[in-house]
Amino acid sequence: MDLSLIIMQLLSGIALGAVLVITALGLTIVFGMLGVVNFAHGALFMIGAYAGLYVASLTGSFWWGLLLAPILIGVFGMLIEFVLIRRLYGRSIDDPLLLTFGLSYILVEGVRIVFGSDGIPFPTPPQLVGVLDLGIGFFPRYRLFVIALVAVVLLVLWLTLEKTRIGLIVRAGARDPVIMQVLGVDIGRVWLAIFGLGVGLAALGGVLAGPMRSVNPEMGSLVLAEAFVVTVIGGLGSIVGAVVAGLMVGVSISLVALFAPEMATIVMFALMAVVLLIRPQGLFGVRGRTA
Amino acid sequence: MPKSRSTPKLTRRTALAGLSASAAMLAMPRLGRAADETIRIGFPTPLTGPFAAEARDQVKCAELAVKLVNDKGGIGGRKVELLVRDDKLNAGEAATRTLELIEKDKVHAVVGALSSAVQLAVNEVTRARGVIYVSISQSDTINEAKDFSKYTFHEALNPHMTTSAVARQTLKKGMKVAHLVADYAYGHEMLRGFKRAQAAIGADNVGEILHPFGAADYSTFMPRLMSMRPDVLCISNFGRDQANAIKQAVDFGVKQQMKIVVPVILHNQRLAVGPDVFEGVVGGANYYWGLETQNKTAADFNAAFKAANGGAIPTDYGAYGYSGVGSLLAAMQTAGGTETDKVVDALEKLQYDLTKGPQHFRKCDHQSVQSVLVLESKKKSAMATDNDLFAIVANDSGSDEMLRSCSELGHAT
Amino acid sequence: MTSPSSGEAVAKPASGSLSWLLEQRVLMSVAVLAVLPWLLPSQALAVNVLIYGVVVMGYNLLFGYTGLLSFGQAAFFGAGAYFTGIAIGRYGVPWFLAVAIAVLLSTCLAAAIGIVSTRTRGIYFAMVTLALAQLVYYVALQASSFTGGENGLRGFTVDRISLFGLSVNFLDPVNKYYVLMALAALAMWFQSRILNSPFGAVIEAIRENEQRARACGYNVERSKLIVFMLSGAISSLGGCMLALHLSIVPLDILHYQTSGMIVMMVLLGGARSFFGPFVGAATFLILEDVISVWTPHWQIFVGAIFVLFVLFLPKGIWGTLLDTLGIGKARR
């Protein structure tokens, strides 16, 4: 087994990890700030792919879909927070989880009614069709683009949270919402925005995955389980954790695919079990809060 | 949705009486019933789930087969009724619905199923209760003696038949062949079929990769497949796994290096993924509407379907629904009714030609011997209409030699 | 409110005979189940209510009484079914022994999953149980020489049930229903015993206030593990019943969507009530049956109804009914 194959394998693992990171990120941010586990996250990922496809077919350009779908679905997410989830704050921590679980049924079936239960083709944007010769092998241009885009999104997100006033409010709100209210911050609006951001990230993941996988109403259910595993490994609520765990899972799947391909799906669950035995709160999770 | 679901509701009282009667009937062979009674055919099919489009086609085709018989006065004066049930592509649900069809609706036979697991589940239920079942889903397992039921007939092709037909058209002596295989029974059956055919042809195996069933991402398998440098890549999986695998293989530039071959190329899956991705992919099929230019039966079937469905064309899996119900009704016609042993006997002797040419059921495993089509997906510019998806590469007429031998399957010969 | 005696005291006295009847919760539940086949549109539906009722009842011990939201109960439902089928089909074990072995092995599986998952709390517990149950799903998919893989497990049809010299035709739907009902009654009796025992008080104390329970000297971690195992054991019996009933085990039984269905059922019926799980299972299955007659899009209605329950009727149908009638907690 030569080195170039292993490098190619690592690269495909990172590309796979990039999609995992972006979906797990939305889940973990919403939990970190709101304490809500969004079970409809996978369904919203799927709706993002459909929205991207729809916008792309209206405007004739993938790029409009990539830009507008996360915003549209993010706004839709805010609506969900405002109409449904807001009523459950102060009740059992399980209630928002159960509500979004029911919601995922409605969303998936709604898409089946509107777009049919078959898959729909989602063509790769023409600028990114084909492969790039890396000297040691060929790699799809589109997947390289996904890695780059996810890196940019992460950078923007990190700068916003760490270096701006908005980021300061958000971080403080996650730590102590009551004090924030005393200080005159409308914490309800912060939560609304955060939930919208989380859902928007799910939708972005969906649009990005569209050209790689077939778009169909069930595409979110597998993603949900994967995103859960990544957030559990990284530590619920931890952004750094989601990034590290996402890449870790992607690369593990990829390396296992080289040596024992049929075990590629099992490996991430096994990885999670090991992490839990050693650190029940996850790699970057804060002990006492969730575990 | 299907009208046929509104079966005449039994009242509580008659149901009670029926229960004790059916209990007695289970022990002994079914006796002929009153001549004026409706003939009821149970039809479990996945109306919800990823194969809903195929299921709807199957229902339309099955209803067409029933309508054609009823228009000619039914069977021995008895009308035929199709009882469609949603099995949700779930074996447990399918077994439950089949039990309900047998115990509550008192069906005379069951036709249907679209996945290997569902088919085997229905087979288990009908076998224990001595009910006739015509399966229309692909599997090698169900042909083997272990799952054999005297009352079950297999209308669909099986992986052994499709892989050998496809291999004959695509592999040549000395070619290098690699395999990407879904790691479950149906995937292994397809791999076995391909490997057997390639050994007979003299092609070389350069590697096989098993992928987890139901995987969404295949990118991690691509670098290794490329490094094997094969001439042909056989992708042995089904439905959405197939669509995703082909799509991602194309993204990695696989088609520039090798030809992609699949055991079964699905009409609706090709529509779902698009012509560019599938362009040049070769696969097997039981039916393609384009057969009408070279086959009279296919032309008649297309015409009847178009007339009943506003000009739409029948698909591959739809045709199974038509020939599955059609062959059963033809046998009932011969048997003069629904008496189980007589119908089984008639099915075993039946020679029929419903969609594409002559077919019959082999005695030992009840597998339908039939022609196999090999299709190649057209490129977008070569498509005359939206339905003009494939070019017919070959049409191998049916013979017993296509099947694994009875003794290999474990049947007494 | 953390011990059964205080629950007893809080209970509002209903009219005398009604109150006595409600105390015989196992007897009452069995009586209702006995007439169920004649109340529902089909026998197959009634059997499913029995099976899912038992599975959800076991789950209720964990979710309703102990307050642990698991999304992995399908693992034990499936394990019960698979072990029963394998014991009968592969090793020729008589059915009753197969059921006993299956429950025992499933309890061991519950112990293994419980050791990992009960170390976590709250939302984490839900996600960890979900992921570990998915691991069980993939293992069953891979171990196809034992489980039949995606094709499902077959080849163990039980057509006669014999016990103590009695032998009945198990293919007959009526016989089948009452044999399975006997198993369900056994599970109910067991669950009732657990709830009435001091241990039943401990798990409710953990639900009400984990810190306080710990301060009172209870071993919270061990109690959680034990209740996880008991819950798994009861749910696995439902799996055994399914295997006997269908004579196949579908792989989908282990999928996390089955776990989700179990959660939906317990909430529809009423968590923390004895008969709620059966009400929930019946409601869910009837809804599915009725709605799917006129539209294949039944899931949108089930989802909407579930969302409405979470928002406005968190105690479920049975729990709300009992509250309205003013029947206290201890008599549920």
Nearest to C121 among A87, A97, A291 (CB): A291
- Token pair for B292: 């009408």
Give contacts of B6 with chain C, Cβ < 8 Å: 293
Domain ranges of chain A: 22-217
Give contacts of C144 with chain B, Cβ < 8 Å: 184-185
Residue C17 has what pLDDT?
A: 65
CB contact under 8 A, C169 and B124: no
Range A112-140 burial, b when 16+ CB lie within 10 A, else e: beebebbbbbbbbbeebebbbeeeebbbb
Task: Tell whether B37 and B142 lie within a shared domain.
Answer: yes
Q: Which of A86, A269, A279, A287 to substitute to test the interface with C, most C CBs within 10 Å?
A: A269
User: Which regions of B106-203 does DSSP assign to beta strands (E)?
Assistant: 109-112, 132-135, 152-154, 176-182
DSSP B3-27: GGG-PPPPPHHHHHHHHHHHHHHHH
Closest CA of chain A from C193, distance in Å: 28
Give the contacts of A206 (CB within 8 A, at least 6 positions apart): A44, A45, A46, A47, A48, A49, A50, A51, A52, A69, A219, A220
Mean pLDDT: which of A121-130, B44-53, C183-192 is highest? C183-192
Closest CA of chain B from C139, distance in Å: 11
CB contact under 8 A, C307 and A97: no
> Chain C residue with minimal CA distance to A274?
C116
Query: What whole-number distance in Å separates Cα of residue A202 and Cα of residue A49?
Result: 9
Please tell me if residue B27 touches chain C, with a CB cutoff of 8 Å.
yes
Nearest to A12 among B50, B222, B277 (CB): B222
CB contact under 8 A, C242 and B92: yes
Domain assignment of residue B7, yes or no: no
Nearest to B121 among C149, C152, C297 (CB): C152
**Per-residue pLDDT tens listing for chain B (413 residues):** 343 444 444 444 444 444 444 444 444 444 444 456 899 999 999 988 888 889 999 999 999 999 999 999 999 899 999 999 999 899 999 999 999 999 999 999 999 999 899 999 999 999 999 999 999 999 898 889 988 999 999 999 999 999 999 999 999 999 999 999 998 889 999 999 999 999 999 999 999 999 988 888 899 999 999 999 999 999 999 988 999 999 999 999 999 999 999 999 999 889 888 899 999 999 999 999 999 999 999 999 999 999 999 999 999 999 999 999 999 999 999 999 999 999 999 999 999 999 999 999 999 999 999 999 999 999 999 999 999 999 999 999 988 888 999 999 998 86
> Chain C residue with minimal CA distance to A95?
C310
**Average pLDDT across chain A, whole number:** 90
CB atoms near residue B341 (< 10 Å): 14
Closest CA of chain A from C138, distance in Å: 6
| The pLDDT of residue C331 is above 60 | no
Band (pLDDT 50/70/90 cuts) for residue C329 is low
Nearest to B210 among A131, A218, A262 (CB): A262
CB contact under 8 A, A95 and C119: no
Residue C22 has what pLDDT?
A: 60
> Chain B residue with minimal CA distance to C293?
B5
Domain assignment of residue B47, yes or no: yes
Structural domain count, chain C: 1
Q: What average pLDDT does range A196-201 have in this prediction? A: 96
Phi-psi category of residue B207: left, alpha or beta, with phi > 0 → left and psi -120 to 50 → alpha = left
Query: In terms of residue numbers, what domain contains B97?
Result: 33-157+297-369
**How far, CA to CA in Å, does A172 sit from each of A188, C83, C295, C329?**
14, 51, 48, 41
Query: What whole-number distance in Å separates Cα of residue C267 and Cα of residue C240?
Result: 24
Q: Which of residues 258-277 of C touch A (CB under 8 A)?
A: 260, 263-264, 267
Q: What average pLDDT does range C109-137 have in this prediction? A: 89
pTM equals 0.88
Band (pLDDT 50/70/90 cuts) for residue C328 is low
SS3 for C187-220 is: HHHHHHHHHHCHHHHHHHHHHHCHHHHHHCCCCH
Q: Which of C130, C142, C266, C307 to substitute to test the interface with A, most A CBs within 10 Å?
A: C307
Band (pLDDT 50/70/90 cuts) for residue A3 is confident
User: CA C138: distance to chain centroid?
Assistant: 22
Residue B29 has what pLDDT?
A: 42
Share of chain A above pLDDT 70, in %: 98
User: CA A3: distance to chain centroid?
Assistant: 31
Residue B379 has what pLDDT?
A: 94
CB contact under 8 A, B220 and A265: no
Angle between helical axes of A3-34 and A239-259 (0-180°, round to 10) = 150
pLDDT digits (tens, 9 = 90+) for C239-269: 999 999 999 999 999 998 899 999 999 999 9
Please tell me if residue A139 touches chain B, with a CB cutoff of 8 Å.
yes
Give contacts of B91 with chain C, Cβ < 8 Å: 152, 248, 250-252
| The pLDDT of residue C297 is above 90 | no
Please tell me if residue B76 touches chain A, with a CB cutoff of 8 Å.
no
| The pLDDT of residue C94 is above 50 | yes
CATH number at residue C170: 1.10.3470
Please tell me if residue A205 touches chain B, with a CB cutoff of 8 Å.
no
What residues form DSSP beta bridges with B264? B284
- Token pair for C147: 């489980």
Nearest to B223 among A5, A124, A263 (CB): A5
Nearest to A236 among C123, C260, C309 (CB): C123
Contact B135, B155 (CB under 8 A): yes
Query: What whole-number distance in Å separates Cα of residue A179 and Cα of residue A177?
Result: 6
Give contacts of C208 with chain A, Cβ < 8 Å: none
Domain assignment of residue C255, yes or no: yes
Q: Which of C68, C71, C120, C261 to substitute to test the interface with A, most A CBs within 10 Å?
A: C120
Task: Tell whether B378 and B363 lie within a shared domain.
Answer: no
| The pLDDT of residue A171 is above 90 | no
Contact C133, C75 (CB under 8 A): yes
> What values do phi and psi take at C219, rounded to 5?
-85, 95
Give contacts of B227 with chain A, Cβ < 8 Å: 5, 137
Task: Tell whether B166 and B251 lie within a shared domain.
Answer: yes
CB contact under 8 A, B47 and C144: no
Residue C20 has what pLDDT?
A: 65
Query: What whole-number distance in Å separates Cα of residue A28 and Cα of residue A24?
Result: 6
Domain assignment of residue B386, yes or no: yes
Please tell me if residue B216 touches chain A, with a CB cutoff of 8 Å.
yes
Closest CA of chain B from C200, distance in Å: 34
| Best CA proximity match to B286, nearest among B322, B333, B260 | B322
Nearest to A15 among B219, B243, B272 (CB): B219
Task: Tell whether B312 and B188 lie within a shared domain.
Answer: no
Residue A288 has what pLDDT?
A: 52
Residue B2 has what pLDDT?
A: 42
Query: In terms of residue numbers, what domain contains C285?
Result: 6-331
Strand B282-285 and strand B351-352: pairing?
Answer: unpaired
Domain assignment of residue B27, yes or no: no
Please tell me if residue C138 touches chain B, with a CB cutoff of 8 Å.
yes
Give contacts of B47 with chain C, Cβ < 8 Å: 296
| The pLDDT of residue A198 is above 80 | yes
| The pLDDT of residue A167 is above 90 | no
Give contacts of B1 with chain C, Cβ < 8 Å: 294-296
Contact A38, A73 (CB under 8 A): no
Give contacts of B272 with chain A, Cβ < 8 Å: 118-121, 214, 216
Contact B141, B120 (CB under 8 A): yes
Contact A122, A62 (CB under 8 A): no
> What values do phi and psi take at B252, rounded to 5?
-85, 5
Domain assignment of residue B338, yes or no: yes
**Total residue count of chain C as it appears in this document:** 332
Residue B299 has what pLDDT?
A: 96
Range B256-271 burial, b when 16+ CB lie within 10 A, else e: eebbbbbbbbbbbbbb
| The pLDDT of residue C293 is above 90 | no
CB contact under 8 A, A232 and C131: yes
| Best CA proximity match to B2, nearest among B271, B323, B321 | B321
CATH number at residue B120: 3.40.50.2300
Contact C180, C47 (CB under 8 A): yes
pLDDT digits (tens, 9 = 90+) for C8-37: 434 444 456 666 666 688 888 888 899 998
- For residue C105, the surrounding DSSP H or E stretch is helix C95-117
Closest CA of chain C from A256, distance in Å: 15
Nearest to B128 among C157, C292, C294 (CB): C157
Structural domain count, chain B: 2
Q: Which of residues 226-285 of B touch A (CB under 8 A)?
A: 226-227, 240, 243-244, 247-248, 251-253, 268-269, 271-274, 276-277
> Chain A residue with minimal CA distance to C306?
A102
Contact B352, B65 (CB under 8 A): no
Give contacts of A117 with chain B, Cβ < 8 Å: 48-50, 52-53
Q: What average pLDDT does range C187-191 have in this prediction? A: 95
Query: What whole-number distance in Å separates Cα of residue B137 and Cα of residue B165?
Result: 18
Dihedral, CA of residue B279, residue B280, residue B283 and residue B289, to nearest 10: 60
Contact B194, B167 (CB under 8 A): yes
